[in-house]
């Protein structure tokens, strides 16, 4: 069972509260009514991995239009993109493939953040700064998603 902060509405006054407690006992901060919250079930490990994979895929899809999709990034299309096997269970990705994905995503993030890479061919000078900020934010998002992916798909041995 998971414990931690979660939101709940008081049945007595209807106001929203935050609760933290391992036993599920809560007290309304407004009317001081006490209640017991049902336990929150943890998601199966496969579901967590699928969610992490989906977040990484979304970051990849956002970024792929901003860089040259030549080798090695073209290989990501077979894992994360339109050429992937839609029947494959994403929670069972091979750890070696997962390591390659992390490395390629880190490289992709570095290329996105590199200010020497033109933001877009033919972009006006006044468009470059906002585009560069956007690329930097996207690169940071890729790094976070790749780090989360690395943790979720790490080889337990």
pLDDT digits (tens, 9 = 90+) for 53-105: 999 999 988 888 777 767 777 888 888 888 887 888 888 888 888 999 999 99
Q: What is the mean pLDDT of residues 122-134?
A: 68
What is the DSSP-derived secondary structure letter of residue 14?
A: -
pTM over 0.85: no
Q: What is the mean pLDDT of residues 104-117?
A: 82
pLDDT at 92: 86
Q: Among candidates 109, 115, 98, which has minimal Cα distance to 143?
A: 109
Q: CA 11, CA 101: separation in Å to the nearest integer?
A: 47
pLDDT at 1: 38
Q: Among candidates 21, 155, 18, 17, which has minimal Cα distance to 99?
A: 155
- Please say whether the dihedral angle defined by the alpha carbons of residues 37, 43, 48 and 54, taken in this order, is positive or negative: negative
Say whether pLDDT at 127 is over 70: no
């Amino acid at each position: 069972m998971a414990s931690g902060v979660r939101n709940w509405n008081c049945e007595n006054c209807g106001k929203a509260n935050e609760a933290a407690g391992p036993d599920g006992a809560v007290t309304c901060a407004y009317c001081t009514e006490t209640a017991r919250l049902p336990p929150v079930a943890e998601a199966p490990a496969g579901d967590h991995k699928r969610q992490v994979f989906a977040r990484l895929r979304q970051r990849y899809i956002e970024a792929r239009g901003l860089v040259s999709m030549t080798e090695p990034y073209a290989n990501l299309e077979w894992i994360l993109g339109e050429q992937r096997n839609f029947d494959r269970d994403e929670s069972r990705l091979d750890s070696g493939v997962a390591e390659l994905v992390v490395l390629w995503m880190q490289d992709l993030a570095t290329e996105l953040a590199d200010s020497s890479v033109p933001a877009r061919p033919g972009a006006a000078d006044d468009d470059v700064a906002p585009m560069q900020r956007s690329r930097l934010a996207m690169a940071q998002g890729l790094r976070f998603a790749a780090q989360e992916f690395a943790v979720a798909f790490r080889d337990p041995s």
